[in-house]
């Protein structure tokens, strides 16, 4: 003899199938869901790594993280795309070229506009060996964290 299914039992039995279908529909949709449409588990999946990084950071690194978030929020979509491209390029630079870039950018930040433009033009004309030598003579200050220039 079978028992009639209650509404709760029916939902509990159908939930895995509904989730599977729902995930397939999300995967096929043209754009990812809005934040409010994410499940608590999906939100946790996104936030968890940031929480861990925040909790393990010192006060200076936390301030740096907040400043990056403020700058990101103020960017236009085009600026964000350019930033993503730059981050992707940075990840694929060899360590010696990263050090050269750190040295160049730290120096550029200290110069007035005209001198900054002149250094950029001079940098473009340098050979790889000249760039290595310049970076060795003009090292970047010690890094605050383990990320980016």
pLDDT digit string (tens) for 48-64?
999 999 999 999 999 99
Q: Is residue 1 in some structural domain?
A: no
The answer to whether residue 48 is domain-embedded is yes
Which residues span the domain enclosing 109? Answer: 94-144
Its pTM surpasses 0.75? no
Instruction: Tell whether 34 is covered by a domain.
Output: no
Residue 106 maps to a domain: yes
Q: What pLDDT, on the 0 to 100 scale, is given for residue 48?
A: 93
pLDDT higher than threshold 50 for residue 11: no
Within-domain flag for 118 = yes
Asked if residue 5 is part of any domain, the answer here is no
State whether 82 and 99 are in the same domain.
no
Instruction: Answer yes or no: are the C-beta atoms of 133 and 123 closer than 8 Å.
Output: no
Asked if residue 107 lies in contact with residue 70, where contact means CB atoms within 8 angstroms, the answer is no
Work out the burial of residue 58: count CB atoms within 10 Å of its CB; fewer than 13 is exposed, 13-18 middle, 19 or more buried.
Answer: exposed
């Amino acid at each position: 003899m079978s028992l009639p299914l209650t509404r709760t039992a029916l939902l509990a039995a159908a939930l895995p199938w509904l989730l599977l279908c729902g995930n397939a529909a999300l995967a096929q949709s043209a754009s990812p869901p809005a934040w409010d449409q994410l499940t608590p588990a999906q939100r946790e999946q996104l936030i968890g790594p940031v929480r861990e990084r925040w909790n393990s950071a010192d006060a200076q690194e936390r301030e740096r993280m907040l400043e990056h978030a403020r700058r990101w929020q103020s960017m236009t979509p085009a600026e964000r795309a350019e930033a993503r491209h730059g981050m992707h390029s940075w990840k694929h630079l060899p360590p010696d070229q990263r050090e050269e870039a750190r040295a160049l950018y730290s120096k550029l930040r200290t110069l007035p506009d005209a001198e900054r433009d002149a250094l950029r033009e001079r940098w473009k004309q340098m050979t790889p060996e000249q760039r290595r030598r310049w970076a060795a003579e003009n090292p970047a200050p010690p890094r605050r964290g383990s990320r980016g220039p």
